[in-house]
Amino acid sequence: MKKKLRETFSSVSSRYGSYSLGAIALVVAIVIVVNLIAGQLPETVRSVDLSDNKIYEITDVSRKLIRDLEQPVSITVLAEKDQVDKRIRNFVERYAGLSSEISLEWIDPVQHPSALSKYDAQADSLVVSCEETGKQQVVSFGEIITYDQMSYYTTGSMQETAFDGEGQLTAAVNHVTSSESKKVYYSTGHGEAEFSSSVQDLMGKANYTLEACNLLMDPDIPEDCELFIMNGASTDVTEDEQKGILEYLQQGGKVMILLGEVEKSTPNLDAIFKEYGLERKTGYIVDIQRSYQQNPYYIFPELSLGENLAKGMSSEMVLLINSQGFTQTDPARDGITLDAFMNTSADGYVVTEDGEEQGSYVLGAVATESISSDSISSDSVSEDQKEDAETEDDEEGPESRLTVLGAGSMIDADVTDTFSTLENLTLFMNAVGANFGEDTNISIAPKSLEVTYNTVQYPGLFSLLVIFGIPVIVLGFGFVTWMRRRKA
């Protein structure tokens, strides 16, 4: 028996089998060791974003914010880890792994119910906090994965619409590490359009505080105003309001005006524009060359963006509907500099009831002016503007900034929600941030979770190729192959 066993294991086949078994065992051992090592790596290294809409992708804006963190930030997840939506769990771990300044802790509120009282938060939420500033912000899971609740009444279930993990976390980190928020006032009393929920959300993410201001009641812009916005006014301002806005600008203030659809003349608003080098044209602008589906009132302007306005812009596709336009003229003072960043093509027209006039028209522009510190009145300037003036040299004061956009439709929900691939909101938020000297727009829009389909814009020739061309080619190849084999 021993002789037989010796002969069996000494044969060539048994030796080869032993070698194979040993090689398999070695490979299995290597795989186990590699998996153990990989399991210890951070989420940012061991995971690859294969999601349809790149929901795990973290933009350069967030990476820069995280890289520049000077205070430790804590992210506490109040939920049972294994029960959390995998997308939220993976993203939070991936986000926290980008910096050693960010710590991540999971607390099960069922086992530790006192944690909810400690953080003053509900279960299934994130608490982002900074010990040095003493600030915290709570982000619920419902703010990260949003749903279309109206779909429940038509389909019987709520459909997921967007994933906002990066936007919510980056906004929270920015909020808890910032010393204070920016105060933005928006005008009322002239038929202005309300900011859409998307705009309000982006403003909140950027740490801007919005407050209404009616200049009809008091023509003086509030002292703590850091940016004044008129969004789509449909009537003119009064002479007192015009005076208040100009005085605010001449003291180093920042103003943004988005024109609405007006039926009557607006001489007082026009006077503000003209002082800063813009002459408004009566009527609406059309562009034969750069229009959406041959509708000349739907314009894709030619963009000429500086570095601060171009941040995050990839396609540079912005749509304006029923826009008004301007031509450039000499400003009231030599120190005013005008930069037109949105224009029509040479095939632009201004259309009125009496006819049309061809030309290239300005659809968006920024006028800036360095204000001498000697010209700043102590009665009509805010404490922030005084401090800005004191930090400059003796002759240079703060810089006033007037931003004019030809159409309030640029940020209208009917446009931004319908054409979700456009960059209207990105450009708008860049323009808002530029008033504060911010070179980065910290507001990050949610990523859509809706199913995307591959569509062909002009299917005529493509359809002919798919329906007839490819089958003919396959049949021809098959026939040639059959003939060759038949002759052989």
Whether 176 and 65 have beta carbons less than 8 Å apart is answered as: no
pLDDT beyond 50 at 93: yes
pLDDT beyond 70 at 1: no
Instruction: Please give the Cα distance from 90 to 308 (Å, whole number).
Output: 32
Model pTM score: 0.72
Q: Alpha-carbon dihedral of residues 467, 468, 469, 472, nearest 10 degrees?
A: 130
Q: What is the CA radius of gyration of the chain?
A: 31
Contacts of 423 (CB under 8 A, 6+ apart): 312, 313, 314, 315, 316, 317, 318
pLDDT for 266-275, tens place per residue?
Answer: 999 999 999 9
pLDDT for 362-420, tens place per residue?
Answer: 999 999 999 876 555 544 445 554 455 444 444 456 899 999 999 999 999 999 988 87
Stretch (H or E) spanning 175:
helix 165-177
Instruction: Please give the Cα distance from 126 to 124 (Å, whole number).
Output: 7
Residue 465 pLDDT class (50, 70, 90 cuts): low
pLDDT beyond 60 at 12: no
Burial class for 404, CB neighbours closer than 10 Å (0-12, 13-18, 19+): buried
Q: DSSP labels for 31-79?
A: HHHHHHHHHTS-HHHH-----TT-TT---HHHHHHHHT--S-EEEEEES
Quote the tokens at residue 336: 């005013």
pLDDT beyond 80 at 463: no
pLDDT beyond 90 at 173: yes
Three-class DSSP category at 213: strand
Quote the tokens at residue 371: 């204000």
Instruction: Please give the Cα distance from 148 to 285 (Å, whole number).
Output: 36
Burial class for 160, CB neighbours closer than 10 Å (0-12, 13-18, 19+): middle
pLDDT at 455: 46
pLDDT at 466: 66
Nearest alpha carbon to residue 229 among 435, 380, 371:
435
Quote the tokens at residue 112: 């530790």
Any alpha helices (H) in 82-134, and if so which ranges? 86-96, 114-119
Instruction: Please give the Cα distance from 318 to 300 (Å, whole number).
Output: 6
pLDDT at 488: 65
Range among 66-70, 310-314, 326-330 with highest mean pLDDT value: 326-330
